[in-house]
């Protein structure tokens, strides 16, 4: 008889997380990191012998000391794909938070940026292209900033909530359906990049979408569920597999890749560069900072000066951050939340009209994607310090980048010039935007 007061249950049909019951030592760590509303529903699900709710954030996989709960592994399949790819074109896209955490699995200083080694390593085991998802982040900001300014002008559907965290999107669908019209309709950076890879890039290299295998490497376990949302794909499935940072490390170890002796190389064209603003997407506050930099330009027609680019009040490890940003004659109130316990606190205040905002960034993982469920566990004993160093690694990359604004990324400008025309164009709407649905029917017990 299991004691679900001290362990979280995991459904056998969960597409992101799995559990080996016999390994569980009922330490209760997973219960502490599971968002309370989700955990409550899981217990009711077990009692009722019905579906077990999960938002797939994977914080339990990161904290479990005995590997009883872990992500549903895909790297073995990817390994086989690389060895037997025949005529298929195998493409990897790497999310920003991966580069500053992967090194922990190989003895690098925490926060070391391995951006220039990941493409070389993947090419050495058969990848045809390795792209940077910072491109997808830049594209997300183009669409999301435009959408935000439209809402600000019309004073409709405010506050605008970010929509790039799939665990938060599902949480909103289940527990806050009345706010779904407020979610940005933009796809996540990964989903946008995958759509571009399987459509415009496929036609550029004269391949059919089914001849491309697109593998995303992310700090996130929830992305394993996100890729199955049909509304995010234009082709049969725009992302074929998601590997966590931990899985990428396991793949490199099994393939005996010696990262320290690899010749550095760059991400491939047509997505060779991402902006510094796109890179900081990997940390809590980064999406808001990137969005405000671009919204400022879209609204005023001029760029923020170098010394104005860092929005310090949007940075740091606090679970709830607030800032008021002036864009010409507009005053924009921004809130940034990471960790869904914190979100519940903020939502109570919003509902009671104690506070109000125009733009709210939500990340399910405390600290944002740098602390995603799929990140290395090797430095778990000092997790706060680890998160801080990963965060610093991303801000340093932004700081030293010659390109710090998403709307100045030449690859993005070319994409709009050649295909998409302008943010929010009919083609951009078709390829880069999505929808979500009320899933409050999943709630059991008292509502
Ligand atoms: Fe995934 Fe990032 Fe959301 Fe965590 S915060 S669930 S890593 S998207």
CATH architecture observed for domain 141-184+277-371+380-432: 3-Layer(aba) Sandwich (3.40)
> 397: which residues sit within 8 A by CB, 6+ positions away?
100, 113, 115, 276, 279
Residue 265: pLDDT above 80?
A: yes
Residue 250: pLDDT above 90?
A: yes
What is the C-alpha separation between 327 and 444, in angstroms, rounded? Answer: 44
| Pocket of ligand 1, beta carbon within 6 A | 57, 165, 167, 219-220, 222, 363-365, 368-369, 372
Do 60 and 8 touch, CB atoms closer than 8 A? yes
- Check 20, 231, 254, 437 and give the catalytic one: 231
Place of tokens 């923020």: 304
Please choose, from the candidates 128, 198, 168, 204, the residue with its C-alpha nearest in 3D space to the C-alpha of residue 347.
Answer: 168
- DSSP class of residue 13 equals T
Residue 350: pLDDT above 70?
A: yes
Strand partners, 326: 331
What separation in angstroms does the CA of 12 have from each of 17, 18, 46, 222?
9, 7, 12, 16
Ligand 1 atom 1, closest CA: 220
What separation in angstroms does the CA of 326 have from each of 132, 298, 303, 312?
32, 14, 14, 14
Residue 236: pLDDT above 90?
A: yes
Residue 385: pLDDT above 80?
A: yes
Note the pLDDT of residue 446.
66
Please choose, from the candidates 7, 71, 445, 67, the residue with its C-alpha nearest in 3D space to the C-alpha of residue 247.
Answer: 71
75-135+190-261 CATH pick, 3.40.50.1780, 3.40.1280.10, 3.40.50.300, 2.40.50.140: 3.40.50.1780
Note the pLDDT of residue 379.
63
Q: Which tokens in the block code for residue 357?
A: 């905002």
Residue 205's pLDDT band (cuts 50, 70, 90): very high
Note the pLDDT of residue 275.
86
- Mean pLDDT over 80-97 rounds to 94
| Backbone region of residue 328 per phi and psi (left: phi > 0; alpha: psi in -120 to 50; beta: other values) | left
Note the pLDDT of residue 282.
86
Note the pLDDT of residue 86.
87
Residue 251's pLDDT band (cuts 50, 70, 90): very high
- Check 7, 115, 144, 289 and give the catalytic one: 144
pLDDT digits (tens, 9 = 90+) for 322-337: 999 999 999 999 999 9
- Mean pLDDT over 274-280 rounds to 86
* Best mutation site among 35, 167, 172 for ligand 1 pocket (most ligand atoms within 8 Å of CB): 167
Note the pLDDT of residue 292.
92
What pTM did the predictor assign? 0.95
Please choose, from the candidates 363, 297, 43, 3, the residue with its C-alpha nearest in 3D space to the C-alpha of residue 148.
Answer: 297
Residue 83: pLDDT above 80?
A: yes
Note the pLDDT of residue 380.
56
pLDDT digits (tens, 9 = 90+) for 170-185: 999 999 999 999 999 9
- DSSP class of residue 183 equals B
Sheet holding 160-161, edge to edge: 160-161, 359-363, 330-338, 320-327
Q: Any idea where the domains of the chain sit in the sequence?
A: 17-71, 75-135+190-261, 141-184+277-371+380-432
Note the pLDDT of residue 2.
77
- DSSP class of residue 65 equals T
What is the C-alpha separation between 253 and 403, in angstroms, rounded? Answer: 34
Provide the terminal-to-terminal Cα distance of the chain, rounded to the nearest Å: 28
Query: How far from chain centre, in Å, is Cα 275?
Result: 16
Average pLDDT, the chain: 93
Query: How far from chain centre, in Å, is Cα 77?
Result: 22
Residue 381: pLDDT above 70?
A: no
Of ligand 1's listed atoms, the one at least distance from the Cα of 56 is 6
The CA 366 to ligand 1 mean position distance, Å, reads 9
pLDDT digits (tens, 9 = 90+) for 299-330: 999 998 877 777 888 898 899 999 999 999 99
Quote the radius of gyration of the chain (alpha carbons, Å).
21
Residue 272's pLDDT band (cuts 50, 70, 90): confident
The CA 319 to ligand 1 mean position distance, Å, reads 14
The answer to whether 369 is a known catalytic residue is yes
pLDDT digits (tens, 9 = 90+) for 119-158: 999 999 999 999 999 999 999 999 999 999 999 999 999 9
Note the pLDDT of residue 153.
95
Q: Please report which helix (H) or strand (E) contains residue 298, including its range.
A: helix 286-300
Residue 187: pLDDT above 80?
A: yes
Q: Please report which helix (H) or strand (E) contains residue 129, including its range.
A: strand 129-132
Please choose, from the candidates 315, 291, 312, 311, the residue with its C-alpha nearest in 3D space to the C-alpha of residue 407.
Answer: 291
Residue 281's pLDDT band (cuts 50, 70, 90): confident
Share of the chain above pLDDT 70, in %: 99
Q: Please report which helix (H) or strand (E) contains residue 200, including its range.
A: none
* Best mutation site among 219, 225, 338, 343 for ligand 1 pocket (most ligand atoms within 8 Å of CB): 219
What is the C-alpha separation between 104 and 154, in angstroms, rounded? Answer: 47
DSSP codes joined into one string, 308-367: GS--GGG-SS-SEEEEEEEETTEEEEEEEEESHHHHHHHHHHHHTTS---SEEEEESSTT
- Check 163, 184, 338, 401 and give the catalytic one: 184
- Mean pLDDT over 84-90 rounds to 92
Do 4 and 46 touch, CB atoms closer than 8 A? yes
Q: Which tokens in the block code for residue 257?
A: 């890749």
Count of residues making up the chain: 447
């Amino acid at each position: 008889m299991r004691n679900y007061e001290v362990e979280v249950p995991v459904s056998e049909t969960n597409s992101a997380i799995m559990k080996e019951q016999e390994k569980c030592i009922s330490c209760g760590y997973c219960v502490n990191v599971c968002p309370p509303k989700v955990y409550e529903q899981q217990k009711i699900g077990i009692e009722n012998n019905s579906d077990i709710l999960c938002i797939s954030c994977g914080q339990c996989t990161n904290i479990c000391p005995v590997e009883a709960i872990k992500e549903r592994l895909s790297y073995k399949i990817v390994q086989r794909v690389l060895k037997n790819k025949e005529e298929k074109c195998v493409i990897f896209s790497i999310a920003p938070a991966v580069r500053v955490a992967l090194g922990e699995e190989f003895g690098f200083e925490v926060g070391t940026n391995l951006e220039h080694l990941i493409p070389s390593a993947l090419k050495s085991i058969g990848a045809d292209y390795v792209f940077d998802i910072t491109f997808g982040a830049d594209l997300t900001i183009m669409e999301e900033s435009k959408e935000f300014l439209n809402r600000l002008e019309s004073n409709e559907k405010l506050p605008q909530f970010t929509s790039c965290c799939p665990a938060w999107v599902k949480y909103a669908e289940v527990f806050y359906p009345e706010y779904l019209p407020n979610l940005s309709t933009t796809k996540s950076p990964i989903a946008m990049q995958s759509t571009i890879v399987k459509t415009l890039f496929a036609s550029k290299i004269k391949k059919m979408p089914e001849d491309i295998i697109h593998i995303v490497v992310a700090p996130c376990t929830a992305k394993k569920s996100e890729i199955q949302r049909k509304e995010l794909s234009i082709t049969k499935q725009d992302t074929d597999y998601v590997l966590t940072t931990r899985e990428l490390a396991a793949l490199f170890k099994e393939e005996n890749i010696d990262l320290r002796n690899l010749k550095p190389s760059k991400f491939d064209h047509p997505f060779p560069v991402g902006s510094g603003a796109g890179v900081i997407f990997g940390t809590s506050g980064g999406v808001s900072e990137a969005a405000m930099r671009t919204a400022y330009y879209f609204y005023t027609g001029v760029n923020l000066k170098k010394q104005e680019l860092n929005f310090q009040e949007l940075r740091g490890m606090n679970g709830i951050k607030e800032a008021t940003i002036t864009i010409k004659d507009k005053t924009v109130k921004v809130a940034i939340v990471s960790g869904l316990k914190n979100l519940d606190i903020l939502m109570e205040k919003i509902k009671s009209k104690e506070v109000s905002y125009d733009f709210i960034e939500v990340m399910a993982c405390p600290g944002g994607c740098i602390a995603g469920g799929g990140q290395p566990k090797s430095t778990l004993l000092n997790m706060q310090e680890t998160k801080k160093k990963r965060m610093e690694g991303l801000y340093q990359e932004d700081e030293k980048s010659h390109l710090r604004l998403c709307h100045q990324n030449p690859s993005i400008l070319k994409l709009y010039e050649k295909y998409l025309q302008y943010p929010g164009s009919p083609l951009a709407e078709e390829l880069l935007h999505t929808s979500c649905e009320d899933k409050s029917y999943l709630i059991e017990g008292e509502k």
